[in-house]
Amino acid sequence: MDPRLFNAAFTGDVNVLLGLIQEDPLILHTVTVTTSNTPLHVAALLGHAEFAMVAMQNHPGLADELDQQGFSPIHLASAKGHWEIVRGMLVRRPDLAFIKDEDGKNPLHTAATKGRSQVLREVFSIESAQELTPKGENVFHVAVKHNQFKALETLIQLACENQVMDELVNAKDEDGNTLLHLACAAKNSKIVKLLVSVQTNVEVNAVNSEGLTALDIAVRSMAGSNEPGEIQEVLRSAGAQVSGSRDQAVVINQRQQALARDQSLTLRNEKYSGSLRNGIGVLAVLFSTISFQLGINPPGGSWQDWASSTDHNFLNVTHKPAKSINWELQKGESLTFFQVNAVCFFS
């Protein structure tokens, strides 16, 4: 860039600029060939509105150039809060409201980042407000993410005037986060209060991609603290809930019912076991009694005063112990019987 042109832009000297243009009508056209920092960038950055308008009038294309940092002249003016330059540029080139910097942000996003409320009023339109950054953020997300309370107030007012409030305040970024999610993550109670006010109609129980509500994030941010925190109180008063609270109640109820069934089953099993033990005891006594009786009175009866069948001397009888008839007639089978009977008796 010609040093004289740079110095004129740096000081905002319009007369020098006009003289250089008269000397070389193509001076503003050739400057973009040698450098990315044009005189319009310099004037926009430093707030030289008149110089910027003259330069843009002579070469409107200067407004499309991005400098070494990836900013156009209107981005620089928006970031610095030079609303007069922004207004003048938009009058001459309304399309500049949608020009993107190297990060994919329009001038409205830039103004929100820096909290330039007056610039927001100059640039705001339904279309520019609906434009998203590469991360899926609208201008409201940008303002909240950078904790720009005044800028958010201005945006809410502008959105109400243009009847696009619900759409913008409840929009989600690429991670599913609403403005409330971002405000809670930043622990910005002032912004949370503003968002849950009546005029915003914000959805307090919206969930992000992780299934978390704003209250979930607020609770997490206070982990380890015994105090619920101002943000939690504000959210709960607005009807906010933790994610899955209803589902958790259902699960708890199901667990209680299952526990009751288990307890009932355990009680029935205990009663059954007791009855079974009593029954076994009765059977044991019965088996013992039967075994004892069978031992005394074996099947088949017993011979009384066993003697030779040819002995007919009834007058001279010698008494003998009784013997089992089956034992005498079927010794093998009888032996098995007495063994089994003995086992039953002593079991």
pLDDT band at 36 (very low <50, low <70, confident <90, very high): confident
- Look at residue 292 and tell me whether its pLDDT is greater than 70: no
Residue with structure tokens 């259902």?
Answer: 250
Determine the Cα–Cα distance for residues 118 and 108; give it in Å rounded to an integer: 11
> Which of the residue ranges 1-10, 109-118, 280-289 would you say has the lowest mean pLDDT?
280-289
Q: Of the ranges 204-208, 310-314, 324-328, which is most confident? A: 204-208
d(CA 140, CA 148): 10
201: left (phi over 0), alpha (psi -120 to 50) or beta: left
Residue 229 DSSP class: -
User: What residues are paired with 303 via a beta bridge?
Assistant: 323
Examine the pLDDT at 204 and tell me if it is beyond 80: yes
The lowest-confidence range among 94-98, 238-242, 257-261, 306-310 is 306-310
Q: What's the whole-number average pLDDT of the chain?
A: 81
pLDDT greater than 70 at residue 70: yes
pLDDT in tens, 221-245: 876 555 568 899 999 999 999 987 5
CB of 190 closer than 8 Å to CB of 224: no
Q: How far apart are CA 306 and CA 312, in angstroms?
A: 13
Q: How far apart are the first and last CA of the chain?
A: 116
CB 244 within 8 A of CB 216: no
**Mean pLDDT to the nearest integer, 263-292:** 54
- Cβ neighbour number for residue 265 with a 10 Å cutoff: 10
Write down the pLDDT at residue 225: 56
The Cα 73–Cα 70 span in angstroms is 10
Nearest Cα to Cα of residue 111 among 94, 95, 127, 128: 128
pLDDT of 290 > 90? The answer is no
Q: What is the mean pLDDT of residues 288-314?
A: 50
